[in-house]
Amino acid sequence: MKHASKQNEGMAAEGGCGESDFRWMARALELARRGVGLAAPNPVVGCVIVARDGTRDGACVGEGWHEYDRRDHAEIVALREAGECARGAVAYVTLEPCSHTGRTGPCAVALCKAGVGRVVVATVDANPLVAGRGMALLREAGIAVDCAVGEREARQLNEGFARWIGTRRPFVTQKVAMTRDGRIAPRLDAGLPQPFWITSEASRDEVQRMRHASDAVLTGIGTVLADDPLLTDRSGLRRRRRLLRVVLDSQLRLPPDSRLVQSANEDVLVCTVSGDRERMAVLRARGVEVERFEPDHAGRVSIEAVLAHLGEREMLSVMTECGSELNGALLAGGFVDRCTCFVAQSMLGVDAVPAWGGVASEETGARVLRNAEWSASGMDRRGTVLVRDPWARVTEPDGTVD
pLDDT score of 354:
92
> What's the CATH number where 123 sits?
3.40.140.10
- Judge whether 163 lies within some domain: no
Same domain, 141 and 197: no
Please state, as a whole number, how many other Cβ atoms lie within 10 Å of the Cβ of residue 65. 25
Q: What is the pLDDT of residues 326-341, one digit of tens each?
A: 999 999 999 999 999 9
Q: pLDDT of 18-62, one tens digit each? A: 899 999 999 999 999 999 999 999 999 999 999 987 778 789 999
For residue 173, pLDDT beyond 60: yes
CA distances from 388 to 30, 50, 217 (A): 25, 36, 19
Considering 127, 157, 187, which residue would you say is the last residue of a domain?
157
Q: Are 118 and 186 contained in the same domain? A: no
Residue 401, pLDDT score: 39
Residue type, 116: V
Q: What percent of the chain has pLDDT over 90?
A: 80
How far from the centroid of its chain's Cα atoms is residue 225's Cα? Answer: 27
Cα separations in angstroms, 271 against 9, 139, 288, 309: 43, 49, 11, 10
**Annotation marks residue 9 as catalytic:** no
Q: What is the pLDDT of residue 237?
A: 97
Domain shared by 291 and 359, yes or no: yes
Name, in order, each residue with C-beta under 8 angstroms of 97's C-beta and a sequence gap of 6 or more.
75, 106, 107, 108, 110, 111, 119, 121, 134, 135, 138
CA distance 153 to 296: 38
20 domain residue, yes or no: yes
The candidate with the shortest Cα–Cα distance to 138, out of 152, 165, 120, is 120
295 in a structural domain: yes
Asked whether residue 44 is assigned to any structural domain, the reply reads yes
Other CB atoms within 10 A of residue 7 CB: 11
Pair (123, 200) in one structural domain: no
Question: What is the pLDDT confidence band of residue 358, given thresholds at 50, 70 and 90?
Answer: confident
pLDDT of 194 over the 50 cut: yes
User: What is the band of 131 on the pLDDT scale with cuts at 50, 70, 90?
Assistant: confident
Residues 100 and 240 in one domain: no
- Asked if the model's pLDDT at residue 181 lies above 70, the reply is yes
Please check the confidence at residue 363 and state whether its pLDDT lies above 50.
Answer: no
Q: Are residues 305 and 259 in the same domain?
A: yes
pLDDT of residue 357: 87
Shared domain check, 148 and 90: yes
If asked whether residues 336 and 200 sit together in one domain, one would say: yes
The verdict on residue 399 lying in a domain is no
Residue 62's pLDDT is what? 97
* Contact indicator for 210, 173 with CB cutoff of 8 Å: yes
CATH of the domain at 238: 3.40.430.10
- Is 323 domain-assigned? yes
Q: What is the pLDDT of residue 350?
A: 87
Q: pLDDT tens digit string along 220-232?
A: 999 999 999 999 9
Mean pLDDT computed over 259-270: 97
On the question of pLDDT at 360 being above 50, the answer is no
Q: Which of 102, 128, 157 is the last residue of a domain?
A: 157
Q: Is the pLDDT of residue 2 over 80?
A: no
If asked whether residues 128 and 210 sit together in one domain, one would say no
Question: What does the pLDDT average to over 240-268?
Answer: 97
394 found inside a domain: no
Indicate the average pLDDT of the chain: 90
Contact present, 332 and 346 (Cβ < 8 Å): no
- SS3 call for 371: coil
104 and 177 inside one domain: no
The count of domains in the chain is 2
What pLDDT is recorded for position 189? 62
Candidates 67, 75, 151, 206; catalytic one:
75
> What number is the average pLDDT over the span 283-292?
97
Domain-located, residue 340? yes
How far apart CA 219 and CA 327 sit, in angstroms, is: 9
pLDDT at 398 exceeding the cut of 50 = no
The terminus-to-terminus CA distance of the chain in angstroms comes to 10
Residue that terminates a domain, selected from 134, 157, 180: 157
Q: What is the pLDDT of residues 202-224, one digit of tens each?
A: 999 999 999 999 999 999 999 99
Share of the chain above pLDDT 70, in %: 89
Q: Residue 314 — very low, low, confident or very high, per pLDDT cuts 50/70/90? A: very high
Full domain range(s) for residue 197:
169-386
Same domain, 256 and 332: yes
Give the pLDDT confidence of 93-128 residue by residue, as tens digits.
Answer: 999 999 988 888 899 999 999 999 999 999 999 998
Q: Are residues 175 and 294 in the same domain?
A: yes
- Whole-prediction pTM: 0.90
pLDDT at res. 364 = 52
Please give the Cα distance from 150 to 15 (Å, whole number): 14
> What pLDDT is recorded for position 4?
39
- Is 80 exceeded by the pLDDT of residue 170? yes
